[in-house]
């Protein structure tokens, strides 16, 4: 049955301009311990959401379980919503070449790099919207490579009924330890699996604490070692992972963020209105509440608001 009701949310962040609170961002947030048990909550984390790209580490686990052989920066790229920097695009080509596949097999929508600086440079160099420049092309390249390993059709790999997508749905549900309540279509055209925030946090906890040689452990190691391949040189998710030793994290569209510490404590949040500007301050505040030293993340603790070209306020967390 379609989901028609919003979660019972609370204020996660407030918008302060010139000392005046002009608005707020509501949402839900949950923290779990290393065993997946809830530590505390804000709002309604038991309400299903589409985690969007925060699902990618789980999907990467599913691809490794299905026989994909990637590690290091290319595995991090398989979990990424990359910025479209030249090394990202070269990495996508390396994944495809390793599987004997050309760029034409990618079924991501043609796009520009998601990072504004990279987009300007890309256009200045004569670039046009292409599937490889779309931020999910690393995941799609890994999906294609997984199909090659298994002899599955390449033409229909984004279809929900494809063996690849069935395997990935099984992996996501297994890691979250819950049934998938809904399947949608993500912005990249691939299937999107709904979860509760509690299930999302539980899945990240399991990935963060898995044995090194397991698919989960390999994904965690790739994210930790190659944060700029996970996002980009100017992306908050990359700075978050680099700034907290042993952390894994993944941002998602529509205001989703998930992260886990090496001891398995994990967080998942959803901003109701989808505002990306609220995600980093709320995540930093939640990590602080878990006792994490967030001093290296100072620039992420608030999101600046500008007036006349100068900072006159901020978006700040309210927990």
**Contact residues for 119 (Cβ-Cβ < 8 A; gap 6+):** 84, 112, 113
Q: What is the pLDDT of residues 10-19, one digit of tens each?
A: 999 999 999 9
User: Which domains are seen in the chain, by residue range?
Assistant: 10-76+165-317 (3.40.710)
Average pLDDT over every residue of 87-112: 98
pLDDT of the residue at 51: 98
pLDDT of 20 strictly over 60: yes
pLDDT of the residue at 276: 96
Which has the closest alpha carbon to 202: 280, 285, 288, 260?
Answer: 260
30 membership: H or E segment, kind and range: strand 20-32
pLDDT of 5 strictly over 90: no
Cβ atoms 31, 286 nearer than 8 A = yes
Cβ atoms 248, 80 nearer than 8 A = no
Average pLDDT over every residue of 212-216: 98
Average pLDDT over every residue of 106-119: 98
| Higher pLDDT among residues 3 and 95, named by residue | 95
pLDDT of 1 strictly over 60: no
The rounded percent of the chain whose pLDDT value lies above 70 is 98
> Is the dihedral angle over the CA atoms 220, 221, 225, 231 positive or is it negative?
negative
Q: What is the pLDDT of residues 244-268, one digit of tens each?
A: 999 999 999 999 999 999 999 999 9
Per DSSP, what are the bridge partners of residue 305? 313
Q: What is the pLDDT of residues 41-82, one digit of tens each?
A: 999 999 999 999 999 999 999 999 999 999 999 999 999 999
- Average pLDDT value over all residues in the chain: 96
Cβ atoms 8, 302 nearer than 8 A = no
pLDDT of the residue at 2: 47
Cβ atoms 245, 237 nearer than 8 A = no
pLDDT of the residue at 319: 85
7: pLDDT confidence band, cut at 50, 70 and 90? low
Average pLDDT over every residue of 101-130: 97
Q: What is the pLDDT of residues 266-297, one digit of tens each?
A: 999 999 999 999 999 999 999 999 999 999 99
Average pLDDT over every residue of 181-198: 98
pLDDT of the residue at 148: 98
Average pLDDT over every residue of 211-228: 98
pLDDT of 161 strictly over 80: yes
Cβ atoms 187, 16 nearer than 8 A = no
pLDDT of the residue at 8: 81
pLDDT of the residue at 245: 97
At 219, list the tokens: 């994904």
């Amino acid at each position: 049955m379609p989901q028609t009701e919003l979660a019972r949310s609370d204020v996660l962040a407030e918008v302060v301009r010139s000392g005046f609170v002009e608005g707020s961002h509501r949402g839900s947030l949950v923290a779990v311990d290393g065993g997946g048990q809830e530590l505390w909550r804000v709002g309604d984390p038991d309400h299903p959401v589409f985690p969007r790209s925060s699902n990618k580490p789980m999907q990467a686990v599913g691809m490794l379980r299905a026989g994909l052989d990637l590690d290091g920066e290319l595995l991090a790229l398989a979990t990424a919503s990359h910025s479209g920097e030249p090394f990202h695009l070269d990495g996508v080509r390396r994944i495809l070449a390793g599987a004997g596949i050309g760029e034409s097999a990618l079924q991501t929508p043609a796009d520009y790099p998601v990072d504004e600086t990279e987009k300007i440079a890309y256009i200045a160099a004569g670039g046009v919207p292409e599937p490889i420049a779309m931020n999910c092309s690393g995941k799609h390249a890994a999906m294609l490579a997984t199909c090659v390993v298994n002899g599955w059709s390449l033409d229909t790999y984004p279809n929900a009924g494809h063996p690849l997508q069935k395997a990935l749905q099984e992996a996501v549900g297994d890691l979250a330890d819950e049934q998938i309540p809904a399947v949608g279509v993500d912005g990249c055209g691939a299937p999107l699996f709904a979860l509760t925030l509690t299930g999302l946090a539980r899945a990240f906890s399991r990935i963060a604490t898995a044995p090194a040689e397991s698919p989960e452990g390999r994904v965690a190691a790739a994210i930790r070692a190659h944060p700029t391949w996970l996002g980009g040189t100017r992306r908050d998710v990359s700075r978050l992972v680099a700034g907290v030793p042993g952390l894994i994290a993944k941002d998602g569209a529509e205001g989703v963020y998930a992260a886990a510490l090496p001891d398995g404590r994990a967080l998942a949040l959803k901003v109701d209105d989808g505002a990306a500007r609220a995600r980093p301050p709320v995540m930093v505040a939640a990590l602080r509440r878990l006792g994490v030293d967030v001093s290296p993340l100072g620039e992420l603790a608030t999101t600046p608001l500008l007036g006349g070209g100068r900072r006159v306020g901020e978006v700040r967390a309210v927990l």
